Chain A
């Protein structure tokens, strides 16, 4: 497996624009997580899914943020409208059950800059 795949790797957008981040988890993993990393706040869990169903979205900062998982192999995180304070690295991670619950595998991240 190629691991967790995120796209794009870098995104620069203007304030007010819609941004969509994409994630393909590792095949067979039941859990998918979206994290945001900033210097000030470290790694924050935004939302996670189990079997494509959102389980905990308490970390989603505002209504401007939304996440979907239409099937087991794809998830999106959307910000509309984007603001400069949304600038961060956004990570997707997935976990599954092998011999017990596996570790969380992370993608390379999407570095978002909102100007």
Chain B
């Protein structure tokens, strides 16, 4: 079955880079996602990567995928106070449209 794990907390100084990590167990996962949840709000998609890719960059965001180790990371460059949120890793696969989410990592920005 699917299992997605993340560390629960991360604190980063403003202006530094944040790296949020995720591991998953299902090798047939096809799509891997990063969602952001701000306080009192629903989840919003930040970015996603297909399993046949190693890296994807989108402005301040860089996603790295190590398929061999089933490890996904999200790097946020020049972290700002507005980046404070909970970040969820999720996976899905072709033929099964549900998303399985990790526990979420709460990112706190230190001024």
Give the distance in Å from the alpha carbon of A56 to the alpha carbon of B98 in the complex. 9
Whether B24 sits at the interface, judged by CB under 8 Å, is: no
Q: Tell me which residues from 35 to 71 in chain B have a Cβ below 8 Å from any Cβ of chain A.
A: 35, 40-45, 48
Whether A70 sits at the interface, judged by CB under 8 Å, is: no
- Specify the main secondary structure of chain A where it touches its partner: strand
Give the chain A neighbours of B87 by CB distance below 8 A: none
Whether A108 sits at the interface, judged by CB under 8 Å, is: yes
Give the distance in Å from the alpha carbon of A91 to the alpha carbon of B88 in the complex. 14
Q: Are A106 and B97 in contact (CB under 8 A)?
A: no
Give the chain B neighbours of A56 by CB distance below 8 A: 98
Interface size range of chain B in the complex: 10 to 19
Q: Tell me which residues from 83 to 108 in chain B have a Cβ below 8 Å from any Cβ of chain A.
A: 88, 97-104
Give the chain B neighbours of A108 by CB distance below 8 A: 40-42
* Among candidates B41, B45, B102, B103, residue contacting A103 with C-beta atoms closer than 8 Å: B45
Give the chain B neighbours of A91 by CB distance below 8 A: 42-43
- Specify the main secondary structure of chain B where it touches its partner: strand
Question: Closest CB-CB distance, A15 to chain B, in whole Å?
Answer: 25
Q: Are B98 and A33 in contact (CB under 8 A)?
A: yes
Q: Tell me which residues from 1 to 38 in chain A have a Cβ below 8 Å from any Cβ of chain B.
A: 4, 31, 33, 35
Give the distance in Å from the alpha carbon of A50 to the alpha carbon of B98 in the complex. 10
Whether A45 sits at the interface, judged by CB under 8 Å, is: yes
Give the distance in Å from the alpha carbon of A109 to the alpha carbon of B41 in the complex. 7
Give the distance in Å from the alpha carbon of A106 to the alpha carbon of B26 in the complex. 24
Interface residues of A (CB under 8 A from B): 4, 31, 33, 35, 42-43, 45, 48, 50, 56, 91, 93, 95, 101, 103-109
Interface residues of B (CB under 8 A from A): 33, 35, 40-45, 48, 88, 97-104
Extra contacts, 12 of them, besides A35-B101, A104-B43 (Cβ < 8 A), are A4-B42, A31-B97, A42-B104, A48-B98, A93-B42, A93-B43, A93-B99, A95-B97, A103-B45, A104-B45, A106-B44, A108-B42
